[in-house]
Structure 1
Amino acid sequence: DAVDAVEAQLQHTGITRRARTGAELMEVMLRLGELTEPELAERCVSADIADGLRDSGVLSPVSLGGRRYLVLTEELPLYASVAGTAPADGERYGFDEALRFLVARHLRTHGPVYTEAIAERFGAPLQELRSALEALADDGSFVGGLLTREATREQWCYRPNLDRIHRASLAMLRREIKPATLDELTRFLSVWQHRHPPARLEGEQGVHAVAEQMQGFAAPPEMWEGELFRGRVAGYQPDMLRSLSGRGELVACGTPNGRLLWFLRGDARAFLPAGSAESEELSSAARTLLRYITENGAAFLSDLREGTTLSLAALNRGISELFWRGLVTNDAAQEVLNVKRYRPADPALHPDERIVIVNPKRNPFRATAMRDVREAMRNIPGWQGHWSLVRRPAVLGPATTEEEMVRRRARQLLLRYGVVAREIAKREEMTGSWPLTAMELQRMEMRGEVRRGYFIEGLSGMQFALPEAVSMLDEVKRSPAGDERTVLNAADPANPYGSGIDLPGGETNFSRLPSNFLVLRGGAPVLSAESYGARLRRLTGDAVDADAVRAFAAHLRERYPSKQDIVVEYVDGRRPSETGAADILRSAGFYRDRVQTMRLDLR
Structure 2
Amino acid sequence: FTSAAAAARFGLGAAVTEGALQRLAANGRVVQGEFHPAGIGQEWCDAAVLRRLRRRSLAALRHELEPVPPAALAQFLPQWQNLSKHSLRGIDGLVRAIEQLQGATVPASALEKLVLPSRVAGYNPAMLDELTAAGEVIWAGAGSLPGKDGWVSLYLADTAPLLLPPPHPLELTALHQSILDTLSGGYGLFFRQIADQVRATTHPDVLDPQLADSIWELSWSGLLTNDTLGPMRSLLGSGRTAGSTAHRAKRGVPRGRYGSLTAAA
Alignment partner, residue 143 of structure 1: 32
| Partner residue in 1 for 2:208 | 312
In structure 2, C-alpha distance between the alignment counterparts of 1:180 and 1:276, rounded to whole Å: 34
In the TM superposition, what are the counterparts of 1:234-313 in structure 2 within 5 Å?
234-257=121-144, 258-275=150-167, 281-295=171-185, 297-307=187-197, 308=199, 309=204, 310-313=206-209
CA distance in 1, matches of 2:25, 2:234: 63
The corresponding residue for 1:601 is none
Could you tell me how far 1:392 is from its partner in structure 2? 3.3
Displacement after TM superposition at 1:135 (Å): 8.3
Indicate the SS of the match to 2:139. strand
Tell me the alpha carbon deviations over residues 313-368 of structure 1, each in whole angstroms, 9 at most, x when there is no partner: 2202210111112111100122245557xxxxxxxxxxxxxxxxxxxxxxxxxxxx
Q: 1:160 to 1:211 in 2, by over 3 A?
A: farther
- Give 1:233's aligned residue: 120
CA contact (8 A) 1:299 1:386 kept: yes
> 2:260 aligns to what?
389
Q: C-alpha distance in 1, partners of 2:42/2:9? A: 16
Which of 221, 233, 240 matches 1:325?
221
TM-score w.r.t. the length of structure 2 is: 0.75
Q: In the alignment, residue 191 of structure 1 is paired with which amino acid?
A: Q
Q: Does 1:193 align with 2:81?
A: yes
* Residue in structure 2 matched with residue 103 of structure 1 by the alignment: none
CA contact (8 A) 1:285 1:314 kept: no
Q: Which amino acid aligns with 1:288?
A: S
State how many pairs are aligned: 243
Q: 1:218 maps to which residue?
A: 105
Partner of 1:379: 251
Give the aligned residue type for 1:213.
Q
How far did 1:185 drift? 2.5
Contact 1:246 1:332 in 2 (8 A): yes
Contact map agreement 2:167 2:222 (CA 8 A) in 1: no
1:125 equivalent to 2:13? Answer yes
Q: State how far apart, in whole Å, the 1-side matches of 2:39 and 2:153 are.
A: 46
Q: Return the alpha-carbon distance in structure 2 between the equivalents of residues 122 and 264 of structure 1.
A: 59
The alpha carbon displacement at 1:195 in A equals: 1.6
> Tell me, what secondary structure is at the counterpart of 1:208?
helix
The correspondence of residues 48-127 of structure 1 with structure 2, limited to 5 A, is 113-120=1-8, 122-127=10-15
Matching residue of 1:519: none
Name the SS of the counterpart of 2:225 in structure 1: strand
Distance 1:271 1:159, change over 3 A: farther
Q: Which amino acid aligns with 2:211?
A: L
Q: Which runs of 5+ in 2 are unaligned?
A: 145-149, 237-246
- Corresponding residue number in structure 2 for 1:168: 56
Pick closer, same or farther for the CA change 1:272–1:175 going to 2, 3 Å. closer
CA contact (8 A) 2:102 2:154 kept: yes
RMSD over aligned Cα atoms: 3.5
Which has the larger Rg?
1
Alignment match, 2:241: none
Structure 1 residues without counterparts, runs of 5 or longer: 1-112, 341-373, 397-603
After TM superposition, the score normalised by the length of structure 1 is 0.36
Aligned-partner Cα distance in 2 for 1:314–1:162? 69
The question of 1:183 aligning with 2:71 is answered yes
Give percent identity, aligned residues only: 29
Match of 1:206 in 2: 93
Q: What letter is aligned with 1:226?
A: K
Give the AA of the match of 1:142. Answer: V
1:102-130 Cα offsets, whole Å, 9 max, x none, are xxxxxxxxxxx444443245432235434
Higher relative CO (Cα under 8 Å, sequence separation at least 6) belongs to 2
Q: Distance in 2 between matches of 1:261 and 1:252?
A: 6
The code of the aligned residue for 1:327 comes to L
Distance 1:387 1:203 in 2: 26
Whether the 8 Å contact between 1:221 and 1:338 is mirrored in structure 2 is: no
Q: Secondary structure at the match of 2:175?
A: helix
2:98 & 2:128 partners in 1: Cα distance?
A: 10
CA gap of 1:179–1:287, structure 2 versus 1, over 3 A, is closer
